[in-house]
Amino acid sequence: MVEASTDGAVAVVGRMARGAFGVLGVLGKAPRAVVRRSVGVLLDCLDLDELVERVDVNRVAARVDVNAIAARVDVGRVAARVDVNAVADRVDVDRVARRVDVDAVADRVDVDRIAARLDVDAVLVRFDLVGITRGVLREIDLGRIVRDTGGGLTVEAVDAVRLLGQRGDRGVSRFADRMLRRAESRDEPSP
């Protein structure tokens, strides 16, 4: 890498030297080793600050092959040096959440697949069914409902038995009247 930089510097300085010092004939035909030795001498003569100020950075950047540079980057090494916690601290989670389209996310959820993976027994074990039942019974006051309903059922049952008894009594009376050939005027209307 250093050698490539040196070769590049030699080439640049060589071109500059040929143009600046008018020694095209001498340096242009000189062996590379001579040009290399001359670089030190020429650098001593040059004002590097002035040279850097004259560099057209936009022109240099236009000649840079970014894809070639990116191909040489070891992403694994770069990622290993990233402080993920520092990056996370700088993330505005509320801003990110506001940009999320929840409906679009929900549309992509496969509910059937989730339900197929759900262990219903494990979910039910977590519920206190006895406690829930006690709470529901306390809220609806089941004892009062049974007392109220039971009392009403008892009255209705007694009335039904009494009515059946009355009908049976009338039926027996009619049968007796027919057997004895009595007039049917004794039938009383049912209450």
The tokens of 73 are what?
């980057």
Percent of the chain with pLDDT over 70: 69
For residue 116, CA distances in Å to 111, 112, 113 come to: 9, 6, 5
pLDDT of amino acid 135 = 81
Between 191 and 181, residue with greater pLDDT: 181
Residue type, 189: P
- CA dist 190 and 107 (Å) reads 70
What's the average model confidence in pLDDT over 36-53? 73
Mean pLDDT, all residues of the chain = 76
Between 46 and 14, residue with greater pLDDT: 46
Reported pTM: 0.25
